[in-house]
Chains A and B, each alone.
Chain A
Amino acid sequence: MIHWDSALTILGMGITTYLTRIGGYLLLGGKSLSPRATAMMDIIPGCVLISVLAPSFASGRVTDLAGLAITVFAATRLALLPTMAIGIVSTGLLRAVFP
């Protein structure tokens, strides 16, 4: 069973998140961006992704950071799937060897 308060919370979360999704589109409408804003929009998406990644870089464990460094290295030269495989396997092995 779902209680009314959890239903309310979930509904509120859903509406809030949806509004953030359409917010940028609605703010810009059909307008074109100025060259300055376009330059900003080239840079900002990366800032979003890097901020989402920050917790991985903030890990206090040496094995995790070593695994991350290997993944970063792989990401600069390989496609997504091999990068992922190398990241997962190397991190898993490092954790198994140095618990």
Chain B
Amino acid sequence: MVSIKKKGKNFEVVCVLVAERSAGDIHTRMSDTVAPRSALDGGFWPEFLRGMRTSIPVMIGFIPFGLLLGRQAVQQGVSVFSVPLMTGLNYGGGSEFAAVNLWANPLPVVLIIGVTLLINCRHVLMGAALAPWLKEVPRRKALLWLFLMCDETWALSLSDTQKRQKFSVGYYFGIGWCLYGTWVGSTFLGAYLGAKIGDLTRYGFDMAFPAVFLVILRGMWKDHRMSIPWIVSLLVGVVVYRLYPGAWCVPAGTVAGALTAACIVRRVG
């Protein structure tokens, strides 16, 4: 009974979201997440600063999760210095939470790497969405830049790129480096302080992430063709998460939504 109620509610939420978006002019409202006009044609550093400013709320969202991950990692037996090594080399929060939960003695090395691949395979699609905008960039540079591509950097940068029809390296780096530093720093701090800090996510800070993603989603919304794949992704993600807690819902929901998108695009032509 509870689950039926909840499903209804989720669906309602999505419908409200969809209705809101189709009703209003999204592009003008998205402008409040972007810098003033004076920075529009800036060079690298003005764009870098614009990226830094944009990333501030996201950084606030990163910190409680970084602290939590660091704390959980140490409790699971990851050494204090392995934590920033992991978050600095891997730099993908979902896969790191999964890895920390699987951490044991003896260490399931192959399992952890396999789960990392499954959770992060969405990056392939993300990179593919960004690739057309990197056509003029030398290959070696582009490959280096992509190291910083996390969900938030990618989403903010892509929606900015689509809006201006131009990829801004400075903006991408401004967001990318701020978030990278915040993530590695906060996970290390969490590991270092260990149980001395409580779980901040319990006080509502975990809502920071949905807030970030929902606002970005609003900016990505173009027409109603998107609503069905998005709803499919949500429903599949929710069901998979209920059945298999952890990050499995991410690849499952993404693939389900992508397949739905493929059907819709094929039918419309």
Task: Count residues on chain B whose CB falls below 8 Å from chain A CBs.
Answer: 111
* B135 / chain A contacts, CB cutoff of 8 Å: 30, 32
User: A64-99: which have CB < 8 Å to B?
Assistant: 65, 67-69, 71-81, 83-84, 86-95
Complex: A14 Cα to B125 Cα, angstroms: 18
Choice from A9, A42, A74, A80 contacting B99 with Cβ under 8 Å: A9
A24-B234 contact given A45-B158, A81-B57, A84-B208, CB 8 Å threshold: no
Quick check: B204 and A92 within 8 Å, CB to CB?
A: yes
Quick check: B147 and A21 within 8 Å, CB to CB?
A: yes
A56-B209 contact given A21-B149, A50-B257, A89-B204, CB 8 Å threshold: yes
Choice from A25, A41, A48, A80 contacting B143 with Cβ under 8 Å: A25
* A17 / chain B contacts, CB cutoff of 8 Å: 90-92, 95, 116, 120, 123
Question: B40 near A: Cβ within 8 Å?
Answer: no
A13-B253 contact given A48-B126, A93-B204, CB 8 Å threshold: no
Please give the distance in Å from B157's CB to the nearest CB on chain A: 11
A36-B127 contact given A50-B257, A54-B234, A72-B17, CB 8 Å threshold: no
Closest to B9 in A: A65
A14-B90 contact given A44-B261, A81-B56, CB 8 Å threshold: yes
Quick check: A16 and B116 within 8 Å, CB to CB?
A: yes
* B177 / chain A contacts, CB cutoff of 8 Å: none
* A11 / chain B contacts, CB cutoff of 8 Å: 89
Please give the distance in Å from A79's CB to the nearest CB on chain B: 4
Complex: A52 Cα to B209 Cα, angstroms: 10
Question: B169 near A: Cβ within 8 Å?
Answer: no
Quick check: A28 and B128 within 8 Å, CB to CB?
A: yes
Quick check: A22 and B143 within 8 Å, CB to CB?
A: yes
Quick check: B211 and A1 within 8 Å, CB to CB?
A: no
Complex: A20 Cα to B85 Cα, angstroms: 19
Choice from B81, B123, B258 contacting A20 with Cβ under 8 Å: B123
Q: Produce 1/0 per residue, B176-211, CB < 8 A to A.
A: 000000000000000000000000001111111111
Quick check: A51 and B237 within 8 Å, CB to CB?
A: yes
Complex: A86 Cα to B61 Cα, angstroms: 13
A48-B128 contact given A14-B90, A58-B238, CB 8 Å threshold: no
Quick check: B234 and A69 within 8 Å, CB to CB?
A: no
**Additional 18 contacts, C-beta under 8 A, given A24-B126, A47-B261, A52-B213:** A7-B85, A9-B109, A10-B90, A13-B99, A16-B113, A16-B120, A21-B149, A24-B127, A43-B230, A46-B217, A49-B216, A50-B234, A54-B249, A57-B10, A60-B2, A76-B20, A80-B33, A80-B215
List chain B positions with a Cβ less than 8 A from chain A: 2, 6, 9-10, 13, 16-17, 20-21, 29, 32-33, 56-58, 60-61, 78-79, 81-82, 85-86, 89-92, 94-96, 99, 106-107, 109, 112-113, 116-117, 120-132, 134-135, 142-143, 146-147, 149, 151, 154-155, 158, 202-218, 220-222, 225-226, 229-230, 232-234, 236-238, 240-242, 249-254, 256-258, 261-262, 264-266, 268-269
13 contacts between A and B (CB under 8 A): A13-B95, A17-B91, A22-B127, A27-B124, A39-B225, A45-B126, A52-B151, A53-B237, A67-B207, A72-B16, A76-B214, A80-B215, A95-B202
